């Protein structure tokens, strides 16, 4: 009897969150699943069931493949660069390899206090080849014939990667710092007694104890990368010549500019399948019990 | 027990929230209201309020409720879905508004076109438009959309600068190239040309003018109607080659490829480049930045003596804008609103307020047209009224997007002229095969379509 009441009370506690979850996540996803099999222009309630027609179109659509490729490119690049840089900074700051470590902690974390939109606008200005701070700085160094950063397909892709890394690295650095600070000093002392230098301590103490955390963060980064939208939408709008088009910006174009909501939803489903698999992977990776000190 | 009631209450609220709709401002005006929603952009809103006032003067028994903002389309979309749209509407120009027609949301305006014009009872409403401008808003012979402005595109220059250096406005492409060479050599660092490089669509004005001047109206029409092979014709390759040549000969200001429209236009106003392509909206867009003594004038994109299109022909178009939602509470009032809004009287007010010209006959005589726009109207007249209009740009948004992307790549020398037309033809083919794309069929546009200035 007592148990029943507490179960009921439990339900009451989760109910608000559950309602939001159902209204804004489960219901739209379920509807989207249906829409991905339909032709829907999004301006009226006319829906025409087209079976796998949208999927067929998607597999034959070169722009979809380009967007998928770009999205994967951004994701893999950030997934590789961010953890390495974040780890480097985290070790440098915690092991006090640099002076003013405290200041660096704040500086690197700073981008996480700004919204993605503000970051995009900021860099959009900074990367302006005429008035932007980057070009002007390089000119000061005597460089001429600078590329028009976001106007050139190759440069634009790397600029997007660079900004994504800049925006993300601080957050992961903080994660790693907290993990490193959780490692008891005894381990390092023991390593020192055994004659390990800074590099060897890192290889044999820090890195193995961080690898769990690293795995999880890489999956986070991958999930994050596949959703790339706001930065690209503002900095390049997928251009030039679709060189920075991501799945999300291509979905937006189809749904909100071309009036192809059904098709856009189909692409969104493919994105959903990718991110869902990554989420499962992250659950799998976290399944192992954490090391306790 | 109590928790059961709570659960029931919460569940009830949850379900109710799907049906609850707040009361809006419009309802406070009573039953006899015509509602107009308009995209708020560079034209501001005063012309909208003027038209509402005029409507209420003409129909004292009906209130005109008008509003607008830059997100008007997004904000109205749910109402279209709910079958409760406004009576007259202008969303935004660079969305694929044809989907509204495909879903049957747009009321045909044929009866409106036959009604006597507002303030000019001897003419029908349809007869008051510049010749040729209505077709862009038609499908299958019926009128669905009406234009907001009449835009003339070409290449702009500062007459003062040209006079000072003794530069002559070129008529043919050869003369244009010679002028560019002269400017490069004697212009004291002034670059011959810049353009809104970040948005290659502006340079598209030059490119498509070259295509028209080489291949004539029939070719343009074949491109507009997606005839197989039309987008791969030699004239298109030649125009692409000539476009690239401007870069190869160093006639384009350095850094141009990254300029946004405002940057490029500012740089041109500062006199760092002698010429820039654009439409007549340039004047009102830059009016606050105009340096003293700057005489903004237009020239046609130069042509070819042996070309199929006239050397002096101007690109002129009136993109479709206004429409009456078929599900509106009062579609007839919406049409009446358009009849008044696009009258000669209010079009003259539009010129004074906004500075742009609407394609309404006589309005350019009733109001003082600003000098740059006047020079464009004069250029059309000087060409004997010969205008051309690449309608694919408002008919097939995807083709226009690919055009812009491929043109950017062409100007960047990422692709060759041959590859450029290959890509365009591939996109045309994609649209031909797409059952979801609305296909437009049209007769070749008459060579002489508009005597705009008259």
CB A67 within 8 Å of CB A246: yes
- Number of Cβ within a 10 Å radius of residue B48: 21
CB B405 within 8 Å of CB B330: no
Residue range(s) defining the domain that contains residue A275: 62-286
Q: Which pLDDT value is given to residue B402?
A: 96
pLDDT digits (tens, 9 = 90+) for B111-142: 999 999 999 999 999 999 998 899 889 998 89
Helix (H, G, I), strand (E, B) or coil at B122: strand
pLDDT: which is higher, B417 or B5: B417
Instruction: Confirm whether A35 is domain-assigned.
Output: no
> Structure pTM?
0.87
Q: Which pLDDT value is given to residue A7?
A: 80
Q: Which of A73, A162, A69 is nearest to A119 (CA)?
A: A162
With CB atoms and an 8 Å threshold, state whether B406 touches A152: no
Mean pLDDT of chain A: 88
In angstroms, the CA B325 to CA B85 distance is 7
pLDDT band at B443 (very low <50, low <70, confident <90, very high): low
Q: Write the residue in A39, A130, A258 that is nearest to B96 by C-beta.
A: A258
Q: Domain ranges in chain B? A: 30-128+319-358, 151-317+385-433
The alpha carbon of residue A272 is apart from the nearest alpha carbon of chain B, in Å, by 25
With CB atoms and an 8 Å threshold, state whether A241 touches B414: yes
What mean pLDDT comes out for the span B295-307? 96
Instruction: Confirm whether A130 is domain-assigned.
Output: yes
CATH number at residue A90: 1.10.3720.10
Contacts of B263 in chain A (CB under 8 A): 128, 130
Contacts of A46 in chain B (CB under 8 A): 103-104
With CB atoms and an 8 Å threshold, state whether B398 touches A258: yes
pLDDT: which is higher, A212 or A137: A137
pLDDT digits (tens, 9 = 90+) for B27-79: 677 789 999 999 988 888 999 999 999 999 999 999 999 999 888 888 898 89
Contacts of B81 in chain A (CB under 8 A): 43-45
Instruction: Confirm whether A47 is domain-assigned.
Output: no
With CB atoms and an 8 Å threshold, state whether B103 touches A41: yes
The ipTM value here is 0.85
What mean pLDDT comes out for the span B215-236? 96
The alpha carbon of residue A185 is apart from the nearest alpha carbon of chain B, in Å, by 52
Q: Which of A131-145, A233-247, B47-61 has the lowest mean pLDDT?
A: A131-145
Q: Which pLDDT value is given to residue B41?
A: 83
With CB atoms and an 8 Å threshold, state whether A44 touches B103: yes
What mean pLDDT comes out for the span A235-251? 93
Q: Which pLDDT value is given to residue B77?
A: 87
Residue of A144, A241, A261 to mutate when probing chain B, most B C-beta within 10 A? A241
Contacts of A149 in chain B (CB under 8 A): 258
CB B193 within 8 Å of CB B252: yes
Identical fold between B30-128+319-358 and B151-317+385-433: yes
Helix (H, G, I), strand (E, B) or coil at B20: coil
Beta pairing partners, B120:
B117
Architecture of domain B30-128+319-358: 3-Layer(aba) Sandwich (3.40)
Count up the domains in chain A and report the number: 1
Mean pLDDT of chain B: 91
pLDDT band at B454 (very low <50, low <70, confident <90, very high): very low
Q: Which of A269-283, B235-249, B341-355, B423-437 has the lowest mean pLDDT?
A: A269-283
Helix (H, G, I), strand (E, B) or coil at A150: helix
In angstroms, the CA A281 to CA A287 distance is 10
Q: Write the residue in B14, B80, B197 that is nearest to A44 by C-beta.
A: B80
Q: Between β-strands B116-117 and B120-124, what pairing exists: parallel, antiparallel or unpaired? A: antiparallel
pLDDT: which is higher, A211 or B177: B177
Instruction: Confirm whether A282 is domain-assigned.
Output: yes
With CB atoms and an 8 Å threshold, state whether A43 touches B77: yes
Domain range B151-317+385-433, CATH class: alpha beta
Q: Which pLDDT value is given to residue A195?
A: 86
Q: Which of A91-100, A165-174, B10-19, B31-40 has the lowest mean pLDDT?
A: B10-19
Residue of B258, B422, B424 to mutate when probing chain A, most A C-beta within 10 A? B258
Element (DSSP H or E) covering residue B67? strand B63-69
With CB atoms and an 8 Å threshold, state whether B104 touches A153: no
pLDDT: which is higher, A206 or B211: B211
Start-end of H helices in B84-199: 98-102, 110-114, 159-165, 173-186
Q: Write the residue in B99, B105, B408 that is nearest to A240 by C-beta.
A: B408
Instruction: Give the percent of chain A with pLDDT over 70.
Output: 96
Q: Which pLDDT value is given to residue B446?
A: 43
DSSP assignment string, B350-393 = HHHHHSPPPSBTTHHHHS---HHHHHHHHHHHHTTTBEE--THH
Nearest CA in chain A to B92: A257
Instruction: Confirm whether A43 is domain-assigned.
Output: no
């Amino acid at each position: 009897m007592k148990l029943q009441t507490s179960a009921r009370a439990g339900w009451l506690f989760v109910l608000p969150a559950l309602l939001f979850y159902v209204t804004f996540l489960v219901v739209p996803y379920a509807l989207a699943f249906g829409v991905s099999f339909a032709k829907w222009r999004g301006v009226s309630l006319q829906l025409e069931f087209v079976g796998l027609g949208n999927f067929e179109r998607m597999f034959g659509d070169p722009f979809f493949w380009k967007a998928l490729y770009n999205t994967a490119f951004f994701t893999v690049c950030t997934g590789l660069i961010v953890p390495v840089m974040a780890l480097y900074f985290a070790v440098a700051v915690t092991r006090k390899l640099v002076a003013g470590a405290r200041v660096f902690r704040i500086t690197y974390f700073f981008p996480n206090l700004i919204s993605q939109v503000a970051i995009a606008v900021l860099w959009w200005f900074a990367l302006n080849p005429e008035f932007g701070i980057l070009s002007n700085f390089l000119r000061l160094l005597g460089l001429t014939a600078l590329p028009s950063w976001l106007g050139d397909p190759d440069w634009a892709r790397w600029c997007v990667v660079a900004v994504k890394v800049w925006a993300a690295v601080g957050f992961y650095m903080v994660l790693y710092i907290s993990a490193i600070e959780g490692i008891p000093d005894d381990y390092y002392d023991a390593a020192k007694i055994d004659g390990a230098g800074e590099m060897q301590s890192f290889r044999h103490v820090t890195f193995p104890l961080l690898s769990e955390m690293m795995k999880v963060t890489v999956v986070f980064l991958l999930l994050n990368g596949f959703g790339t939208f706001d930065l690209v939408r503002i900095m390049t709008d997928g251009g030039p010549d679709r060189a920075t088009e991501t799945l999300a910006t291509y979905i937006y174009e189809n749904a909100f500019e071309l009036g192809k909501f059904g098709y856009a939803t189909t692409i969104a489903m493919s994105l959903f399948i990718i991110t869902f698999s990554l989420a499962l992977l992250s659950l799998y990776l976290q399944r192992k019990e954490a090391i306790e000190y | 027990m109590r928790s059961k009631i709570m659960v029931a209450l919460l569940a009830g609220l949850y379900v109710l929230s799907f049906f609850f709709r707040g009361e809006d401002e419009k309802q406070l005006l009573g039953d006899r209201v015509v509602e107009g929603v308009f995209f708020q952009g560079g034209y501001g809103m005063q012309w909208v309020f003027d038209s509402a006032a005029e409507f209420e003067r003409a129909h004292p028994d009906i209130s005109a409720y008008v509003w607008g903002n830059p997100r008007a389309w997004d904000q109205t979309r749910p109402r279209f879905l709910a079958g409760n749209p406004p009576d007259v509407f202008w969303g935004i120009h660079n969305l694929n508004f044809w989907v509204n027609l495909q879903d049957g949301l747009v009321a045909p305006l044929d009866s409106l076109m036959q009604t006597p014009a507002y303030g000019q009872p001897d003419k029908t409403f349809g007869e008051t438009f510049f010749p040729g401008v209505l077709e862009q808003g038609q499908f299958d012979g019926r009128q669905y959309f009406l234009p907001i402005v009449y835009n003339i595109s070409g290449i702009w220059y500062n007459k003062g600068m040209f006079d000072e250096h003794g530069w002559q406005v070129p008529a043919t492409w050869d003369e244009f190239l010679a002028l560019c060479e002269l400017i490069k050599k004697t212009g004291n660092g002034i670059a011959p040309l810049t353009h809104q490089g970040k948005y290659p669509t502006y340079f598209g004005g030059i490119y498509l003018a070259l295509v028209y001047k080489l291949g004539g109206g029939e070719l343009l029409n074949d491109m507009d109607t997606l005839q197989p092979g039309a987008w791969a014709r030699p004239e298109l390759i030649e125009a692409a080659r000539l476009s690239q040549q401007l870069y190869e000969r160093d006639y384009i200001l350095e850094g141009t490829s990254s300029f946004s429209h405002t940057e490029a236009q500012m740089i041109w106003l500062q006199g760092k480049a002698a010429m820039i392509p654009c439409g007549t909206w340039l004047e009102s867009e830059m009016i606050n930045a105009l340096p003293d003594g700057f005489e903004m004038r237009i020239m046609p994109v130069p042509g070819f003596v042996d070309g199929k299109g006239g050397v002096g022909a101007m690109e002129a178009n009136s993109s479709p804008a206004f429409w009456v939602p078929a599900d509106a509470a009062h579609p007839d009032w919406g049409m009446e609103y358009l009849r008044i809004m696009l009258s000669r009287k209010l079009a003259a007010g539009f010129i004074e307020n906004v500075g742009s010209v609407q394609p309404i006959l006589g309005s350019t005589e009733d109001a003082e047209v600003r000098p740059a726009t006047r020079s464009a109207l004069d250029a059309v007249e000087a060409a004997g009224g010969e205008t051309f209009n690449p309608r694919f740009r408002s008919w097939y948004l995807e083709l226009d997007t690919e055009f812009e992307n491929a043109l950017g790549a062409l100007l960047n020398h990422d692709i060759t002229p041959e590859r450029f037309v290959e890509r365009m033809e591939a996109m045309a083919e994609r649209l031909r095969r797409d059952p979801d794309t609305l296909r437009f069929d049209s007769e070749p546009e008459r060579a002489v379509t508009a005597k705009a200035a008259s």
